[in-house]
Amino acid sequence: MTVKVEKIEGGIPHTTIMIAGLIASLVFLYLTYANVIMGTEYFAFFGGLATVAALIWGSHTIKHLCSYGIGTGVPSAGMIAFGSGVIAMLFATKYGIAAPIVAVVLAAVIGLILGYLANNVLNMRIPVMIQSLVEMAIIGALVLMGYAAMMTGSFELTSLTTGNVQILGLSLPSYQASFLGGALIATAFMLGAIAIQHPFNACLGPNWTQDRMLMLAAECGFLSMITAAIMSMPLISMSAALVSLFVAIIGWYYTYAKYIELSKRDAAAWLESKPIPDVEGH
Amino acid sequence: MESIVFGIGITALAGALATVAGAAENTESDIGSQGDPNSQVQLAPQMGYIHRIFNKAVAGEPPAYGLWIALGAGIAWAFMAMQINPILAIVLGSGIAVFVQGVYATTAYLGRTASLAKFGQPVYVDILKSMTTVTMAHAFVAIFATVTLCHLINAALGHPFPLPLLGIVWGIALGAAGSATGNPFYGKERQYQNQKFGAGVPIAASGNIVRYAEAGERNSLDNGWFSAKLGGPASGVCFGLIVFLELWRTVLFEEIGAGWGAIIIGIIIILVFTVIDRYIEVWARKNYGPYTKPAEEASS
């Protein structure tokens, strides 16, 4: 059994973050369904907010898992989250309005199988492994579904596989110009996978603080949302994409400024063009 | 015949773009101390060696470049789907991807350094400002060249994969080429110029990286200057050869045996390179190593 090398002191307990992340992300995903009900695309940005909520939860799950001394495994944790999540997400999109719930359940099953294989077949024997991999798979599925909802306006398979091509002023449906046909899902995969591992990977060390890492997670989420909003421009109406972009830029600016403030608070010193200070013994 | 000549021309152009991309990628990652040299930059303050070297650990190079290139390609794809001219679309896509890269670099440096407060490592704002912009410039060259070669593969050679998917594949390949080829010049050589050549890094020397330059204190621009000389071009040749040979075998031999021709040529290329690598390794060992114990004194 692996020894826990770092412990989480104080701050918000992991269970609270997990429950809040799951609920917030599901609620935001369902708010994008207002697009279908009202026949507009302006609610697409809620998909982006769903990814931010899930990524904050995900970064803390990685911290929870990697506190068992898995130093170099931090980026790969992001990859396995999305690798297992993409299967659940794609399969779930067939179920219409039930898609987010089906994605969560299916991802949990996939995560359970992967966790069992890692702990009992590969003999990793990390106590939180199964729970963490279940969480990671759910997060991966929710984040990908959030990007899909944000870029196409809906989380249903038909809207993911059809786009529009303008030929001589005529708008024709085309698989090639869609979220799946244009492989934007590949970009969404990498956007989420790097954003989920970066907060802990960047903040690890003896002076790790929870609020700084979670603020960075939100920053990474909004930064990815900015680019997702730009990529949604050919798939949804320009004004709806601009609403997403506007929300993302405001969220990103606020969290980035806050993160720099928190880094300033935690850093040993904040120096401008100064030489290396003398440290005792060297 | 004409289509083959056209294909070879595109192959040569893609290979040239890949060479530029590889050189820029390695220089960028070395200025940011990304990849395996990062562990020593991260360790140094914990051993008491406070330094002025940029430490932007976003991820390993392959996943990080997987994102930058997939992002550049995804945004370029989106702009092209909006009927924007491909060159402008690729420039805009690369520009936005570089913005994301720059933000990730600053947050990584701030986060890592703030978490080392216990050991007295300060945040140097001048390092943050001057190094981030230089890595962004190099990243732009790498992303633009790679997305362009993906577009050539897709549009000129008719590859069935859409642009973002080609981006993720070639982005990971680019990061892997730079990580495997270029990093030793920085991580194994530049950081340990104060150790005997070929001695490896003994435990006692862990974290004792070179922190002072020819004049003043060394920062990562000095490392970029060093790795641009050897590590960058080596990575460029590596990635350029990968792209060139991969496309070359496909363009010339795909027609033979319903695609099997290209696969067989691919296996032959791997075998030829295995023989070359083995020859170079044996030759280098004979001439430079292995590192031997110093000869016993005659008097003792």
> What digits encode the pLDDT tens for the residues B154-192?
999 888 899 999 999 999 999 999 998 888 888 878 888
Name residues 137-166 of chain A within 8 A of B (Cβ). Answer: 163, 165-166
| Higher-pLDDT residue of B208, B300 | B208
Residue ranges covered by each domain of chain A: 14-266
Residue ranges covered by each domain of chain B: 2-253, 259-289
Name residues 197-216 of chain A within 8 A of B (Cβ). Answer: 197-199, 201-208, 212-213, 216
> What digits encode the pLDDT tens for the residues B40-97?
898 899 888 999 999 888 888 899 999 999 999 999 999 999 889 999 999 999 999 9
pLDDT at residue B293, rounded to an integer: 62
Find the closest chain A residue to B58 by CA distance. A198
> What digits encode the pLDDT tens for the residues A243-280?
999 999 999 999 999 999 999 999 999 988 888 887 65
Residues A1/A113, Cβ–Cβ less than 8 Å: no
Comparing C-alpha atoms, which of B194, B186, B207 is closest to residue B50?
B207
Contact of B59 with chain A, judged by CB distance below 8 Å, is answered with yes
**Residue A166, both tokens:** 């303008």
Cross-chain Cβ contact A272/B126 below 8 Å? yes
Comparing C-alpha atoms, which of A167, A148, A150 is closest to residue A158?
A148
Question: Any bridge partners for residue A170, and if so which?
Answer: A167
User: Is pLDDT above 50 for B300?
Assistant: no
Beta strands per DSSP E along B52-176: 123-124
User: Is pLDDT above 80 for B254?
Assistant: yes
Find the closest chain A residue to B102 by CA distance. A223
> Measured between CB atoms, which of A202, A206, A270 is closest to B107?
A202
Task: Please give the Cα distance from A51 to A268 (Å, whole number).
Answer: 33
Cross-chain Cβ contact B123/A275 below 8 Å? no
Confidence tier at B285 by pLDDT (50, 70, 90): confident
**What is the pLDDT of chain A when averaged over all its residues?**
87
The alpha carbon of residue B177 is apart from the nearest alpha carbon of chain A, in Å, by 18
> What digits encode the pLDDT tens for the residues B127-154?
999 999 999 999 999 999 999 999 999 9
> Which H, E and C letters describe B228-277, residue by residue?
HHCHHHHHHHHHHHHHHHHHHHHHHHCCHHHHHHHHHHHHHHHHHHHHHH
Measured between alpha carbons, how far is residue A62 from residues A44, A54, A134, A190, A193 in Å? Answer: 28, 12, 12, 17, 12
Which amino acid is located at A239 in the chain?
S
Residues B209/B46, Cβ–Cβ less than 8 Å: no
Contact of B18 with chain A, judged by CB distance below 8 Å, is answered with no
pLDDT at residue A35, rounded to an integer: 87
**Residue A263, both tokens:** 């880094």
Look up the ipTM and state it. 0.91
Listed as ranges, residues in chain A with pLDDT below 50 are 1-3
Task: Please give the Cα distance from B55 to B49 (Å, whole number).
Answer: 14
Say which residue the tokens 């991580």 belong to: B187
Cis peptide before B290 (omega within 30 of 0): yes
pLDDT at residue A1, rounded to an integer: 39
Residues B223/B30, Cβ–Cβ less than 8 Å: yes
User: Is pLDDT above 60 for B101?
Assistant: yes
pLDDT at residue A72, rounded to an integer: 62
Average pLDDT over residues B237-241: 95
> What digits encode the pLDDT tens for the residues B109-118?
999 999 999 9
Find the closest chain B residue to A270 by CA distance. B123
Say which residue the tokens 């050189």 belong to: B23
| 3-class SS of residue B292 | coil
Contact of B204 with chain A, judged by CB distance below 8 Å, is answered with no
User: Is pLDDT above 80 for B248?
Assistant: yes
Find the closest chain B residue to A230 by CA distance. B75
